[in-house]
């Protein structure tokens, strides 16, 4: 049976009278803010980055596929950004969209989730729902958020409500928007889940309730581990096929004509983004607590992690065939975002390729129309700006490595003018003397 507090909160959400607080205004939090604002909710955004807050309040965007116009509309509708966590008390719903990276030991770094929960804890009150959207291992919501919320003295499930609902953003994918991607919701209790369902039903076309926060957490991991494992498989198949003189992209295209039992996955230079390269390690780490060794998942991670090294190995082979060592050669990397047509650099394998080239004595530069200046990153630093492409510029480099296949590139020009072209994306299907498949 629903508590009076839950019933009142659900009613406020359905009447659009509740205030939605979103903590973490990045690739997940910002689209969610825009959706709630567009349907009539007052939204308060909270972030520790003062520059992000300043830009949002000025109606500016810092994510390429989110326009300043959309931020401006949200501002006109009442959206406000702040660095002041005390204002969590104003919100009826608090949605946490903070990073969950891996540390240098490839173990979960829960500091953002824990620090954010500690930051909002003093300002929680009865009649609120807290939802975690960050990808994480099963048990995080119960083990990290629940005890901290209970420290407030409020009873979770009757006075305050706790849910987990994994984000499912796909930056740059024009086929889907926030409202059209089904939302999985698990609650600490059934009442918590009812509140969570009401929260997301207001903004998302389809909500999928599950039995617990653990089930929702595992759902997100399964989704991305499924992709990681299949990409690992096709990456390994690419290595075998290349050695045999077979075009793996032709093979995948042919196999995908089978109308049942096959889903096409295409190889590349490795895994990138905020989920697929990371999520498998969250589960393998947690599985050890139960005495389990997830060999299959870890093997796919090893294959995918090794792909930048494979690409650089193919670059070395190509240069050697032309009587050139990598050391001292000028190499241009095309595309350093983790996927095409976005500016998102998180876990991009292209950056690993750049690091490997530099470590072996190559002089590396890059060209990416979506990343004009190499950004500050926790583990990588290049004092570089994007090279503008024309025929003469391409021809100046000893080798060009296609790492991310942005639509903006002039692929005909690149093929015609590159001395050596290392293709890790299968963009060039016809063999040519200056093309090396990687």
Catalytic residues: 275
User: SS3 of 331, please?
Assistant: strand
**Residue 207 bridge partners (DSSP):** 183
422 Cβ contact list (under 8 Å, min separation 6): 311, 314, 315, 318, 399, 400, 401, 402, 436, 438
Q: Over 110-147, what HEC string results?
A: CHHHHHHHHHHHHHCCCCCEEEECCCCCCCHHHHHHHH
User: SS3 of 437, please?
Assistant: strand
Q: Which residue has the tokens 């470590």?
A: 359
**Residue 14 bridge partners (DSSP):** none
Q: What angle do CA 114, 126, 21 make, to 5 degrees?
A: 55
Give, as one character, the DSSP assignment of residue 65. Answer: T
Q: What angle do CA 28, 32, 37 make, to 5 degrees?
A: 150
Instruction: In whole angstroms, give the CA distance from residue 368 to residue 387.
Output: 7
Q: What angle do CA 239, 344, 69 make, to 5 degrees?
A: 145
């Amino acid at each position: 049976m629903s508590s009076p507090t839950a019933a009142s909160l659900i009613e406020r959400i359905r009447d659009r009278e509740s205030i939605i607080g979103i903590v973490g205004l990045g690739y997940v939090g910002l689209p969610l803010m825009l959706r709630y604002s567009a349907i009539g909710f007052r939204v308060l955004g909270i972030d520790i980055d003062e520059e992000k807050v300043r830009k949002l309040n000025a109606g500016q965007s810092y994510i390429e596929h989110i326009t300043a116009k959309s931020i401006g509309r949200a501002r006109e509708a009442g959206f406000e950004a702040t660095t002041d966590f005390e204002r969590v008390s104003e919100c009826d719903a608090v949605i946490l969209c903070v990073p969950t990276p891996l540390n240098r030991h490839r173990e979960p770094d829960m500091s953002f989730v824990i620090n954010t929960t500690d930051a909002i804890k003093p300002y929680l009150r009865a009649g609120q729902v807290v939802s975690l959207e960050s990808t994480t291992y099963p048990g995080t919501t119960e083990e990290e958020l629940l005890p901290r919320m209970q420290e407030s003295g409020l009873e979770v499930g009757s006075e305050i409500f706790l849910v987990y609902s994994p984000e499912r953003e796909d930056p740059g994918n024009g086929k889907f928007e926030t409202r059209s991607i089904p939302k999985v919701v698990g609650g600490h209790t059934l009442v918590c889940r009812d509140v969570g369902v009401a929260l997301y039903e207001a903004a998302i076309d389809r909500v999928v309730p599950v039995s617990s926060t653990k089930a929702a957490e595992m759902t997100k991991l399964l989704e991305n581990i499924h992709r990681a494992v299949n990409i690992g498989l096709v990456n390994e198949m690419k290595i075998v096929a290349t050695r045999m003189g077979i075009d793996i992209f032709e093979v995948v295209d042919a196999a995908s004509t089978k109308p049942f039992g096959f889903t096409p996955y295409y190889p590349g230079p490795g895994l990138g983004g905020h989920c697929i390269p990371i999520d498998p390690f969250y589960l393998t780490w947690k599985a050890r607590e139960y005495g389990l060794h997830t060999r299959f998942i870890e093997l796919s991670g090893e294959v995918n992690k090794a792909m930048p090294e494979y690409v650089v190995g193919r670059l070395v082979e190509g240069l050697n065939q032309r009587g050139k060592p990598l050391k001292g050669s000028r190499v241009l990397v095309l595309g350093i975002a983790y996927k095409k047509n976005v500016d998102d650099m998180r876990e991009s394998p292209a950056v690993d390729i750049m690091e490997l080239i530099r470590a072996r004595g190559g002089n590396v530069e890059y060209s990416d129309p979506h990343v004009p200046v190499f950004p500050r990153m926790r583990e990588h630093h290049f004092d570089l700006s994007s090279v503008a492409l024309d025929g003469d510029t391409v021809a100046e480099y000893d080798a060009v490595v296609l790492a991310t296949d942005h639509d903006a590139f002039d692929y005909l020009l690149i093929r015609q003018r590159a001395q050596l072209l290392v293709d890790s994306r299968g963009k060039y299907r016809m063999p040519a003397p200056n093309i090396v498949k990687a």
